[in-house]
Structure 1
Amino acid sequence: MGNDRANPPTDAEQLAQRYRTLVEHSPDGVVVHEGGILVYVNPAIVRLLGATSAEELVGKPVTRFVDPKSVPGMLRRIRRLTETGDASEAAEMTLVRRDGSTVDVETVSVLTAWQNQLAYQVVVHDLSAQRAAEAAQRRAEQHFSTVVAQLEEGVVVIDRRGYIESINPAALRIFGVEGEDMIGTPLYLLPMTLLDANAVPMSPTRHPVARTLNSGETVVGYVFGVDRPDGQRRWLSGSSRLLNPGDPQSSAVSSFTDITEFRASRRQLEYQATHDPLTGLANRALVLSRLAAALGTTEDLPVSTVLFIDLDGFKAINDTLGHAIGDTVLQIVAQRLQRGLREDDIVGRIGGDEFLVLLSGRTLGEDLDALVTRLRQAMAEPIIARGHRIQVDASIGITPLHPGDGRSPEAVLHDADVAMYRAKPPGHRDNAPLSRRPNSSNAS
């Protein structure tokens, strides 16, 4: 022991000891081969090759544990090492384990001195975990691609320049370009016209996906349209978001659903809820709603005058000729009213043979008289229905509106009804004003 204290380890010996300790505990395999024979292996390579001890490997040819396909490359790399300390580039190769199975690794060879002889020290990194992760990623990407391809929802990925990176079959179908290759196509060259929710053409720079690309903002629930190459117009409900939110250079993904049929059915339902099914005119609810909006404005009244129109003797037509002919008469009267009014005027059927007209803008007295005369004349023209020549006259009640008019829509309707009743010829005053009489026949 005294001799040990007298001769402490040199710095080189201490460095060598630390290096041996590091190599022995390294998670990467380390081997040394001299003249093609393994002369050293660390524990990690013993485990990697499926051996139980270093003795099973040392003294064996290094090529015994290298896949034949990897041997030529290995030899080329080590032949390039000419000076002590030279290192090869990192290269992938395949090793053969003791049981014959293979394992992919990455290796770096260094020409070094080993017990006064030149040898090759090789660091071996197991790629199994990396390969497994890559395979899992490929499976996930394939699974994702398969799912996206099967979606009924259109999905398009757009890069920062506005070019299509990927597009699924549903999007191609919705755009009317099935079978075409859209990858790499800029949005502005797509063979279709983009529309905003009001059917106004818009450039790709106004589409919400452009907002997502510019600001990173997620935009959901917007409606836009496309006019396709085949002339069809499709309405879509879409969302746009960044593909990788943490990446400022991320592409954007736009997904959308075809709502054309839904939009059409909703509009049809809205139309049915606000229009008379027999004549196609606005119904009572819609006319009173427009009247309420006019009365509620603080600016110039958009409606100047309300006309209440009732057909004289219509009950006799129903009673003698039947409701089918009565319905035909109402439809023809509705058409004549529409032709006799201006485009901004509103005409509706409020029940039975009663119609309400909202005259828009300011109407001078002489113009109003001329309009009422023209309407009476139009409706007085004989109607031919199923071989019957029918004469229809109309009574028209007039109620003007004034700025600051404090009446409710129902009060205006009542006043117009009273005015109509007073305008009826004496022989047709069979009914009291609307608020005090039952519904007429042919009521909607």
Structure 2
Amino acid sequence: MGERHTDAASAEQLAQRYRSLVEHTPDAICVHESGTIVYVNPAMVRLLGARSADDLLGLSIQTFVHPDSIPPMLARIAQLTAEGSASPPAEMDLVRVDGRTVPVQTVSVLTVWQGELAYQVVVHDLTAQRAAEDSARRAESHFTTVVSQLEEGVLVVDRRGRLESINPAGRRILGIDDADPVLGRRFDELPATMIDRDGHPLPGDQHPMARTLATGEVVTRFVFGVERVDGQLVWLSCNCRLLNPDSPDSSGVSSFADITEYRASRRQLEYQATHDALTGLANRSLILSQLSTALADEGGTLVTTVLFIDLDGFKAINDTLGHAIGDTVLQIVAQRLQRALRAEDLVGRLGGDEFLVLLAGHPQRADLPALVERLRVTMSEPIIARGHRLEVSASIGITELGPHERRTPEAVLHDADLAMYRDKPAGHRELGLGQNRRSNNTHAS
């Protein structure tokens, strides 16, 4: 008798704990018998927006189930034939007292309620989850829309370097047709050839994306070229980083912009800053820069001889025939100088009718007179300029650079200028110019 009393007390105690758990669980729980609600916990009251459990008890369960969800619900519980059997988790929509729809996930269990078979339903509110999913979808849609409208190319590659996505601008910049199925290919196997700044093939393992995937390093403003399938060469400035730096399995994202026009403009500006606009020869700035580099060369192999060339009587051509013809004469002289010298020799225009030549390497001293004579003959050939037949001659001064040269570039030019002056015919010398001039390692031709 005492044992039965103890068992009953234990059962009651267990039941009390179960009721307490059900009453305080955050998930909604209800029990319906033959379709009629016979029990709801406080969470179910709150979920359906009722004032109390009394507002729900005795009503049909279908009152609070969305019409579209009723047939699947009935089908699920019809399969529960043994006490304790449960349906798999299923999503459905409930209808609150105020008429609003609530997305939920439910599990139904066939149980016994006050001696009769009934269905106990555990209901989990999916409202917050659905809101988060909707927000994520909107964010993804927004991101996709923004990326698709960018003028900058964007591509994403997985850890193996295989392309996961590429935006329209990326395809356009790389010259990849919209119909070309490139997803899944390695980024270095795309239908475009990568080259470095010097025009040499760029191996895939030297691409910044390979470095980012291997080390996690962020790479910015990496410049390389792409030879497209249509034959065009475009230059790109590229940034690479991991999508999620905290994840060892993160994909990499690369953004790149077409800088072809900018690069060409910059090169043009650099060219204009270092070359004479009329003749295309090196200007005074570039000449001094190259001469400075040569003077700093301990081996003395870059430049060993400097020629200062001045046209005789050029002022008379300008004064009598005009500057347009004078400009034509200067252009032709510049072309003749370039043809008469080696590619490694630098020919420049200091200004007016003054030219400078930096001879590279080690020309034999005995060869200099022959070189100077060849230049004289070349420049003395008649020039036809706008119907005028003209003949010009040139005075040439030479200064040689010693193995331990201590002169500045300006001093070298000055000494070459003095040597050129001494080479000028007497009739072309300006009054008083050159008196008391002296220099070392300097001679006229």
Q: Do they superpose with TM above 0.5?
A: yes
Query: Helix, strand or coil for the counterpart of 1:10?
Result: helix
In structure 2, the residue matched to 1:390 is 390
Q: Offset at 1:352?
A: 0.8
Contact 1:195 1:226 in 2 (8 A): yes
Seen in structure 2, the aligned counterparts of structure 1 residues 203 and 106 have a Cα distance that, compared at 3 Å, is same
The residue identity in structure 2 corresponding to 1:197 is: R
The residue identity in structure 1 corresponding to 2:51 is: T
Unaligned segments of structure 1, at least 5 residues: 1-5, 437-444
Instruction: Show the 5 A alignment for 1:45-444.
Output: 45-181=44-180, 182-430=182-430, 432-433=433-434
Query: Helix, strand or coil for the counterpart of 2:211?
Result: helix
Contact 2:175 2:230 in 1 (8 A): yes
CA distance in 2, matches of 1:433, 1:192: 63
Contact 1:301 1:403 in 2 (8 A): no
Contact 1:348 1:355 in 2 (8 A): yes
Seen in structure 2, the aligned counterparts of structure 1 residues 16 and 188 have a Cα distance that, compared at 3 Å, is same
Q: Offset at 1:241?
A: 0.7
Q: Offset at 1:73?
A: 2.5
Contact 1:414 1:434 in 2 (8 A): no
Tell me the percent identity. 65
CA distance in 1, matches of 2:435, 2:35: 114
Unaligned segments of structure 2, at least 5 residues: 438-445
CA RMSD of aligned residues (A): 2.1
Instruction: Map Cα deviations across residues 149-181 of structure 1 (whole Å, 9 max, x no partner).
Output: 111111111222222212112212212235334
Instruction: Map Cα deviations across residues 398-435 of structure 1 (whole Å, 9 max, x no partner).
Output: 11112221110011111111111112222222262599
Contact 1:417 1:434 in 2 (8 A): no
CA distance in 2, matches of 1:105, 1:229: 54
Instruction: Map Cα deviations across residues 323-372 of structure 1 (whole Å, 9 max, x no partner).
Output: 11111111000000000111111010001111111111111123322221
How many positions carry a matched residue from both structures?
431
Stretch moving more, 370-379 or 108-117: 108-117
Contact 1:301 1:402 in 2 (8 A): no
Q: Offset at 1:7?
A: 8.7
The residue identity in structure 2 corresponding to 1:323 is: H
Contact 1:414 1:435 in 2 (8 A): no
Instruction: Map Cα deviations across residues 183-213 of structure 1 (whole Å, 9 max, x no partner).
Output: 3343233222112222322133321111111
The residue identity in structure 2 corresponding to 1:174 is: I
TM-score normalised by L of structure 1: 0.92
The residue identity in structure 2 corresponding to 1:288 is: L
TM-score normalised by L of structure 2: 0.92
Contact 2:294 2:300 in 1 (8 A): no
Query: Helix, strand or coil for the counterpart of 2:415?
Result: helix
Q: Does 1:26 align with 2:32?
A: no
